[in-house]
Amino acid sequence: MTDDKPTPAANEARSLNFIEQIVEEDIRSGKHKARVHTRFPPEPNGYLHIGHAKAFCLDFGIAEKYGGLCNLRFDDTNPITEDTSYVDSIRKDIHWMGFDWGNREYYASDYFDQLYDLAVQLIKKGKAFVCQLTADEVNASRGTDFEPDKPSPYRDRPVEENLQLFERMKNGEFPNDSMTLRAKIDLSSPNMHMRDPILYRIRHAHHHRTGDKWCIYPMYDWAHGQSDSIEGITHSLCTLEFVPHRPLYEWFIRELEIFPSRQIEFARLNLSYTIMSKRKLLQLVKEEHVKGWDDPRMPTIHGLRRRGYTPESIRQFADMVGIAKRENVIDVALLEYCIREDLNKRAPRVMGVLNPVKLIIDNYPEGKTEYLDTVNNPEDPEAGTRSLPFSRELWIEREDFMEDPPKKFFRLSPGNEVRLKSAYIVKAESVEKDADGIITAIHCTYDPQSLSGSDEAKRKVKGTLHWVSAAHALDAEVRLYDRLFNDPDPDGHKGHNFKEFLNPDSLTILNHCKVEPSLGEASELDHFQFIRLGCFNLDPDSSVGHLVFNRTVGLKDTWAKMKQ
């Protein structure tokens, strides 16, 4: 066994995304002494969503894979939109996802002093100046693609004067927006970011961490790259919209002669039938199209958690979508696949009836209750068994009975037999209806010899139904969710607002569901598989005596597919 060609499997295990390839090359060449250090830099001005999850799974994942570190760094350079409450939620979300940053929780605001000093350094080099143009005037001075910007009249202010003015800016001697510090680079650059970008602006605003110490705040380009350098970040991973910023990122490194972090960009996640813009998600919350950031229909981490998604399923998803530079739209079906697969292995099976109709077993003794054993999870022998109360009157799913069934209907219909899961085989005999012709009860008979597990129970019947004993059932509210938008790309239609595509049926509330009594002991957010129906979890809205379940995702339903 010397010259085996690599098997496809081995090959695949070796296949790396383009960022891993870069990292491995750097390690091989001994760059930064083969050290790998990444960071996840959220701005604390909103909640994290699944797109961020893709990003921080990458940041933390790369560090983990190559024995490096990943910092959490809040990019808090804009006090008027940022808030400490967001810091808490972001921290919580990342922890919940299973990542840890040790004591390396940093803030761009931690570096305001150093950033200020670096700015002074840049001024001294003659590479930055204090500009007194108003925002409108700056915009008016902007050129076009082929026409350079008009130089600011303050562009050639002497270094000494710049130094003094910048210090006075810092000292709060000037009102908001009256001055900026701008880099002096290249007014005719085809890259607009190089046309004397603004580094600092004046904002007399209270900052959630630095309080009132500062009234000048650095812009993204100035703060982000330098923060990377200060932390010794080797690979600074960000999304594609920052590609044009990279020349500026590198210009600062060169001019300041600071640690050369490398910025690498990848394509952000897009999910079909949803939106990912923080601003637009905020709009959905504010305009009450959803009930909050943690509404189970939201693509936020908060929303997914409440919906019943597990950290493992989301990490699996992040892994499966891959990393590349081309625009992409991931099918939500992949996300659903990930949670089904995870919960299939872990979620205990229980019985719950969403749209109940009474099933009366005419030949079963009145007042009798049997306790029948049933397995908690066929995928997990360790999960054990529990007992279920069974009696003469049961609830079954209204959909599971048809008076006049089509040929492939494997459920209950007059004269036909069906297995009640973990119980007996029953045969439908007759129905009761109300004045409107709606079935109010189904009468059946059971075969006492057919109890699950008994020798006589080997008889095959075409279908198996879930059920709940009427006398023992608990009432429950069940919330069914459908996609929030009924268009695959709600934000992608020119001339149409994304809200036009909101799905009016994204939430269906069922109020009179019946669930097995064991569910009375469920805890908040516990996961279950309601047999034959889907994955559900207990919503925090539940209270003693009022159970509320969310449907995380339905089971694959080939019958539903056949009906179409």
Which residues are designated catalytic?
Answer: 43, 268, 278
- 415 sits near RNA (criterion: CB under 7 A): no
- Of the pair 81, 369, the CB lying nearest RNA is at 81
- The residue within the footprint of RNA, chosen from 13, 81, 140, 213 (CB under 7 A), is 81
Q: Where are the beta strands (DSSP E) in 113-220?
A: 128-131, 180-183, 198-202, 216-218
Does the footprint of RNA cover residue 224 (CB under 7 A)? yes
- Map the footprint of RNA across residues 238-257, applying CB under 7 A: 240-245
Which one among 62, 169, 301, 531 touches RNA, defined by CB under 7 A?
531
193 binds RNA (CB under 7 A): yes
Radius of gyration of the chain (CA): 31
The answer to whether 202 contacts RNA (rule: CB under 7 A) is yes
| Residue 382 binding RNA, by CB under 7 A | no
Q: Which amino acid is at 40?
A: F
Task: Name the pairing type of β-strands 370-375 and 417-420.
Answer: unpaired
C-alpha span between 389 and 369 (Å, rounded)? 6
Told to check if 13 binds RNA by CB under 7 A, we report no
Q: Does 457 bind RNA (CB under 7 A)?
A: yes
Q: In the complex with RNA, which residue's Cβ is closer, 119 or 451? A: 451
Could you say whether residue 6 binds RNA (CB under 7 A)? yes
Please give the Cα distance from 36 to 31 (Å, whole number): 9
Under rule CB under 7 A, which residues in 467-526 are in contact with RNA? none
CB of residue 395 vs RNA: minimum separation in angstroms?
Answer: 16
Candidate segments 46-54, 133-141, 253-261, 497-505, binder of RNA by CB under 7 A: 133-141
Q: Is 8 an interacting residue with respect to RNA (CB under 7 A)?
A: yes
Question: Which C-beta is closer to RNA: that of 307 or that of 411?
Answer: 411
CA 86 and chain centroid, separation: 16
Exactly one of 256, 258, 267, 548 binds RNA (CB under 7 A); that residue is: 267
Q: Nearest Cα to 185, choosing from 141, 152, 207?
A: 152
Choose, by CB under 7 A, the member of 105, 333, 500, 524 that binds RNA: 333
Q: How far is the CB of 217 from RNA (least distance, A)?
A: 6
Running DSSP on this structure, what letter comes out for residue 552? Answer: E
Q: Where are the alpha helices (DSSP H) in 186-331?
A: 220-230, 246-256, 278-286, 301-307, 311-321
Q: Would you count residue 320 as binding RNA (CB under 7 A)? A: yes
Least Cα distance to 252 among 194, 202, 201 occurs for 194
Binding segment toward RNA, per CB under 7 A, in 92-100, 163-171, 188-196, 496-504: 188-196
Biggest CA-to-CA distance, the chain: 102
Which range binds RNA by CB under 7 A, 211-219, 287-295, 382-390, 509-517? Answer: 211-219
Q: Where are the alpha helices (DSSP H) in 311-408?
A: 311-321, 332-346
Nearest to 355 by CA among 165, 509, 560: 509
Q: Name the residue nearer to RNA (CB basis): 294 or 342.
A: 342
Query: For 548, which DSSP code?
Result: E
| Complex with RNA: residue 403 or 557, whichever CB lies closer | 557
Return the range that interacts with RNA (CB under 7 A); candidates 31-39, 155-163, 330-338, 433-441: 330-338
Q: Least separation, in Å, of the C-beta of 74 and RNA? A: 9
For 496-509, b/e burial (b = at least 16 CB within 10 A) is eebeebbbeebbee
Q: Report H helices in 142-200.
A: 159-170
Question: With binding defined as CB under 7 A, does residue 219 bind RNA?
Answer: yes
349 near RNA, rule: CB under 7 A: yes
Q: Which residues in 340-368 are b (16+ Cβ under 10 Å) and which e?
A: bebbeebbbbbbbbbebbbbbbeebeeee
Q: Does 373 bind RNA (CB under 7 A)?
A: no
Instruction: Tokens 């739209």: give the residue.
Output: 329
29 binds RNA (CB under 7 A): no
Question: Applying CB under 7 A, what is the total number of residues that bind RNA?
Answer: 95
